[in-house]
Amino acid sequence: MIKFAVMGFGTVGAGVAEILQKNSALLEARLGEPIELKYILDIRDFPDSPFSNRVVHDFETIVNDEEVDVIVETIGGAKVAYDYTKRALLAGKHVVTSNKELVAIHGCELLKIAEEKNVNYLFEAAVGGGIPVLRPLHQCLAANEIEEVFGILNGTTNYILTRMVRAGVTFEAALREAQSLGYAEQDPTADVEGHDACRKICILADLAFGREILPEDVPTEGISGVTLRDVELVEKAGWRVKLLGRALRQEDGRVSAYVAPHLVRAEHPIAGVEDVFNAIMVRGNAVGEVMFYGPGAGSLPTASAVVADVLDAAQHQEKRKKIGWTERKAEQIAPWDALSARQYFRVKDGLHQVDEVFPGSEILSHQEHEIAFITPYMSCGELNRRAKSLQLCARLWVLE
Amino acid sequence: MIKFAVMGFGTVGAGVAEILQKNSALLEARLGEPIELKYILDIRDFPDSPFSNRVVHDFETIVNDEEVDVIVETIGGAKVAYDYTKRALLAGKHVVTSNKELVAIHGCELLKIAEEKNVNYLFEAAVGGGIPVLRPLHQCLAANEIEEVFGILNGTTNYILTRMVRAGVTFEAALREAQSLGYAEQDPTADVEGHDACRKICILADLAFGREILPEDVPTEGISGVTLRDVELVEKAGWRVKLLGRALRQEDGRVSAYVAPHLVRAEHPIAGVEDVFNAIMVRGNAVGEVMFYGPGAGSLPTASAVVADVLDAAQHQEKRKKIGWTERKAEQIAPWDALSARQYFRVKDGLHQVDEVFPGSEILSHQEHEIAFITPYMSCGELNRRAKSLQLCARLWVLE
């Protein structure tokens, strides 16, 4: 009999309980023994929930109960969740989480504690919700030197961009729509400004390259500056605008990561990822490119990943799974102005000025006093330097 | 030190050796100990290969060498490969394979032997080449009751269909192109008639539903009958033709599987899977739909999956991974004429006849004496029965 506890009975926590009810026979068969949700830790009571009798308010009850093998943390944030996770691991409990903020900031330390205590700290649900991506990256692609990971890591912004393309509405209108549908929060900053995607690309980079990248290492730009004009203009030229988190291994072994809106060719598999769906692309030196696609959020999809991790932790109780990365070293992170890229510009200048500043550009649209174009490849530092001589209206990255 | 052997030094076997050379430091770091390719079993010699000194011609050398922990089988077919695999497992060796035919036909038996001997029999490379799909299906989606698995499982036919859409060439011309590029064999039967996809959907169904489905249970239709006329006609109506393998769990718990060309909506993520790429979609009762995309064949991609399995087998030497399914029982397989579906028909009849036989159909194109339409939902038995009253030119499945 495996007994576990859930800390935080919100969207994901409630999903975990629902799956446990719905698929209990199947979970027991796969695990080879019964599984029981013994406690739910929350500050609230849930008198109407079928699980109301498991609700407790004191963390000590859980952490001191020897019967509890696995603790699920779906509290969110990096304060209480950090404290409880650390204490749970130190008490020899396996911990499973969907908390991207905590893993992005404290993952390295928490995994080290888990290693010392020979317990599992698993977080498949922290990136891509229900999409299997961390375990495949870490295990199925283990024969590869990973060269790049990138993806649509935030469903809210992907929904907004999809509506701008498909319905021709502005960013502001699409955001209001997303809010009314419950896809965006009342304060949408973490989503639309790219912070959520930033945490996820940190975790992907940590796992893919085996070394810690922190959110502060990741230049992050959201989509609040993306205009309908640019979305429509590039669409006509065969491109689509997508908010991507990207992490690349440079030839010298250093890693760069950033979050920004990109132009993606309409034929690229990631261009077809619409609405609230997420997709993560991994490029390895043996496999080439593989992509993982699915629901990046939501109660049951995210809980699907959490419960799979609970089963995995329960099955690896004696021999923990080897997951981890080395602590951040500044010299392993490449300054992003050294990155080589093409970029999209829309400027209030004439063709001869564009030609002078960025010779060899691909002109996407040319009207009087407004030119939209894609530059040739050069370093981001050089792109910045040259861009200063033009009257910039819009600037986007280009995925190629 | 982990020592392993490769049986069959063809495309995949050579890829395994290449990855071992290319990524040796990384593999050693991930494994925590060195890994050595001790033997290559083949009837040929490879005097120009850097691995020529490992080539042996006698299976006994490998199976009787106590130093060999893992044996990779990339011989193909279900005769010699079956014999050697069985003997290797009985001798207590872990076996890793890319051989879909063998796993589809004898997987159940071989996994049972592996269980008795407490060794691993792993075959991630047998479906989807380099795409991580079997392990994610089995492990990451373990919290789900799987309801359906389907996908583009054969790169050759997907290349041919892509060329028909994109270049407007006939099936025959596209096949010749595929042959000249090395994507199709001189005898292309196994690919174009769907046998390859059939083996792969068997393996996916085995794992997804936990019970054996054999190729003979899977009605299989390839793409040699797909005409350019239909491909172009449905394209204009917003559909694309794709060869899909599908396996579904019926409400009564029985499983149906089949392989056939399908109409897929142009906006469906699987419609954008072009050229030789593969994609597998899984629908679970918690996660919803997730998709795995990537190179379904090729030396290094397939070897990437093989080597990952070798590492996994080496790391699970004491406690084998639990993989397996129960033996085929006829009553667990649903007769496919009970399946409910819509289908596409092109007929040499008038509109009133179509209306009479399939009222409520969606007409895609209507010319004198030729109508293309999609029927309403009904059982396949009923579709068959009614279709007899029409003059059929073409018939395709519809994915919805």
Enumerate the residues of chain A whose CB falls inside 8 A of the CB of residue B30: 142
**A148–chain B Cβ distance below 8 A for any pair:** no
**B124–chain A Cβ distance below 8 A for any pair:** yes
Run of H or E residues at A255: strand A255-265
CB contact under 8 A, B293 and A292: yes
Neighbours of B321 (CB within 10 A): 19
Structure tokens belonging to residue B39: 């033997």
List Cα–Cα distances, B191 to B74, B175, B179, in angstroms: 18, 11, 12
Distance CA B237, CA B233 (A): 7
Q: Which of B345, B343, B344, B347 is nearest to B391 (CA)?
A: B347
In the beta sheet, which residues pair with residue B347? Answer: B371, B392
Q: How far is B82 from chain A (nearest CA, A)?
A: 25
Distance CA B275, CA A289 (A): 14
How confident is the model at residue B342, as a pLDDT?
96
Q: How far is A266 from chain B (nearest CA, A)?
A: 10
- Nearest C-alpha in B relative to A293: B291
**A170–chain B Cβ distance below 8 A for any pair:** no
Size of interface A-B (CB pairs under 8 A): 176
Of B32, B136, B272, the CB nearest to A135: B136
C-alpha R_g of chain B: 23
**A138–chain B Cβ distance below 8 A for any pair:** no
Between the two ends of chain B, the Cα-to-Cα distance in Å is 51
Distance CA A121, CA A107 (A): 9
Of B269, B290, B306, the CB nearest to A272: B269
Of B277, B288, B295, the CB nearest to A301: B288
User: What DSSP character marks residue A326?
Assistant: B
**B259–chain A Cβ distance below 8 A for any pair:** no
Neighbours of A384 (CB within 10 A): 12
pLDDT by residue, tens only, chain A of 400 residues: 999 999 999 999 999 999 999 999 999 999 999 999 999 999 999 999 999 999 999 999 999 999 999 999 999 999 999 999 999 999 999 999 999 999 999 999 999 999 999 999 999 999 999 999 999 999 999 999 999 999 999 999 999 999 999 999 999 999 999 999 999 999 999 999 999 999 999 999 999 999 999 999 999 999 999 999 999 999 999 999 999 999 999 988 999 999 999 999 999 999 999 999 999 999 999 999 999 999 999 999 999 999 999 999 999 887 777 888 999 999 999 987 888 999 999 999 999 999 999 999 999 999 888 999 999 999 999 999 999 999 999 999 999 8
Neighbours of B380 (CB within 10 A): 19
Enumerate the residues of chain A whose CB falls inside 8 A of the CB of residue B165: none
How confident is the model at residue B207, as a pLDDT?
96
Run of H or E residues at B352: helix B351-357
User: Torsions phi, psi of A369, nearest 5?
Assistant: 60, 20
**A304–chain B Cβ distance below 8 A for any pair:** yes
CB contact under 8 A, B307 and A142: yes
Dihedral angle of Cα B112, B115, B119, B125, to the nearest 10 degrees = 50
How confident is the model at residue A323, as a pLDDT?
87
Active site residues of A: 200
Q: How far is A356 from chain B (nearest CA, A)?
A: 38
Q: Which of B172, B178, B135, B348 is nearest to B276 (CA)?
A: B178
Distance CA B82, CA B89 (A): 11
List Cα–Cα distances, B234 to A66, B143, B165, B239, in angstroms: 62, 38, 10, 5
Enumerate the residues of chain A whose CB falls inside 8 A of the CB of residue B271: 272
Distance CA A195, CA A200 (A): 9
Q: Give me the residue label for tokens 């390895």.
A: A284
Give residue-wise pLDDT tens across range A284-338: 999 999 999 999 999 999 999 999 999 999 998 877 778 889 999 999 999 878 8
**A313–chain B Cβ distance below 8 A for any pair:** no
Distance CA B299, CA B18 (A): 9
CB contact under 8 A, B140 and A23: no
**A147–chain B Cβ distance below 8 A for any pair:** no
Give buried/exposed letters for B42-61 (b at 16+ CB in 10 A, else e). Answer: beeebeeeebeebbbeebee
Q: How far is B55 from chain A (nearest CA, A)?
A: 23
Mutate to test the interface with B, among A18, A70, A140 (most CBs of B within 10 A): A140
Residue B317, burial from CB neighbour count under 10 angstroms (0-12, 13-18, 19+):
middle
**Structural contact between residues B99 and B34, judged by C-beta atoms closer than 8 angstroms:** no
**Structural contact between residues B100 and B76, judged by C-beta atoms closer than 8 angstroms:** no
Distance CA A194, CA A143 (A): 31
Enumerate the residues of chain B whose CB falls inside 8 A of the CB of residue A124: 140
Enumerate the residues of chain A whose CB falls inside 8 A of the CB of residue B303: 143, 286
CB contact under 8 A, A301 and B287: yes
ipTM over 0.90: yes
**B33–chain A Cβ distance below 8 A for any pair:** no
Q: Give me the residue label for tokens 């691993």.
A: B120
Amino acid symbol at A339: L
List Cα–Cα distances, B36 to A377, B4, B16, B65, B75, in angstroms: 41, 6, 12, 14, 20
CB contact under 8 A, A139 and B135: yes
Q: If DSSP codes are grouped into helix, strand and coil, which group holds residue B214?
A: coil
CB contact under 8 A, A290 and B292: yes
Enumerate the residues of chain A whose CB falls inside 8 A of the CB of residue B140: 124, 132, 135-136, 305, 308
Mutate to test the interface with A, among B21, B33, B144, B207 (most CBs of A within 10 A): B144
C-alpha R_g of chain A: 23
How confident is the model at residue B338, as a pLDDT?
83
pLDDT by residue, tens only, chain B of 400 residues: 999 999 999 999 999 999 999 999 999 999 999 999 999 999 999 999 999 999 999 999 999 999 999 999 999 999 999 999 999 999 999 999 999 999 999 999 999 999 999 999 999 999 999 999 999 999 999 999 999 999 999 999 999 999 999 999 999 999 999 999 999 999 999 999 999 999 999 999 999 999 999 999 999 999 999 999 999 999 999 999 999 999 999 988 999 999 999 999 999 999 999 999 999 999 999 999 999 999 999 999 999 999 999 999 999 887 777 888 999 999 999 987 888 999 999 999 999 999 999 999 999 999 888 999 999 999 999 999 999 999 999 999 999 8
Distance CA B172, CA B157 (A): 12
Neighbours of B10 (CB within 10 A): 15
**DSSP percent split of chain A into helix, strand, coil, nearest 5:** 40, 25, 35
Of B145, B307, B322, the CB nearest to A143: B307
Amino acid symbol at B236: K
Between the two ends of chain A, the Cα-to-Cα distance in Å is 51
Enumerate the residues of chain A whose CB falls inside 8 A of the CB of residue B267: 272, 274
Run of H or E residues at A36: strand A35-41
List Cα–Cα distances, B346 to A87, A269, B358, in angstroms: 67, 31, 12
Q: How many residues does chain B have?
A: 400
Enumerate the residues of chain B whose CB falls inside 8 A of the CB of residue A274: 267
Quote the distance between the C-alpha of residue A381 and its chain's center.
Answer: 26
List Cα–Cα distances, B143 to A321, A330, B146, B187, B290, in angstroms: 19, 40, 9, 42, 14
**A139–chain B Cβ distance below 8 A for any pair:** yes
- Nearest C-alpha in A relative to B298: A287
How confident is the model at residue A306, as a pLDDT?
98
Q: If DSSP codes are grouped into helix, strand and coil, which group holds residue A286?
A: coil
Structure tokens belonging to residue A307: 């419960």
Quote the distance between the C-alpha of residue A353 and its chain's center.
Answer: 39
List, in sequence order, every beta strand (DSSP E) within chain B: 2-7, 35-41, 55-56, 68-73, 94-97, 121-122, 146-152, 239-249, 255-265, 277-284, 288-295, 340-341, 343-347, 362-367, 370-374, 378-379, 392-398
CB contact under 8 A, B305 and A287: yes
Enumerate the residues of chain A whose CB falls inside 8 A of the CB of residue B158: none
How confident is the model at residue A345, as a pLDDT?
98
Mutate to test the interface with A, among B70, B270, B273, B290 (most CBs of A within 10 A): B290
Q: Which of B278, B310, B271 is nearest to B128 (CA)?
A: B278
Distance CA A95, CA A114 (A): 9
Half-sphere exposure of B169 (CA within 13 A, CB side): 15
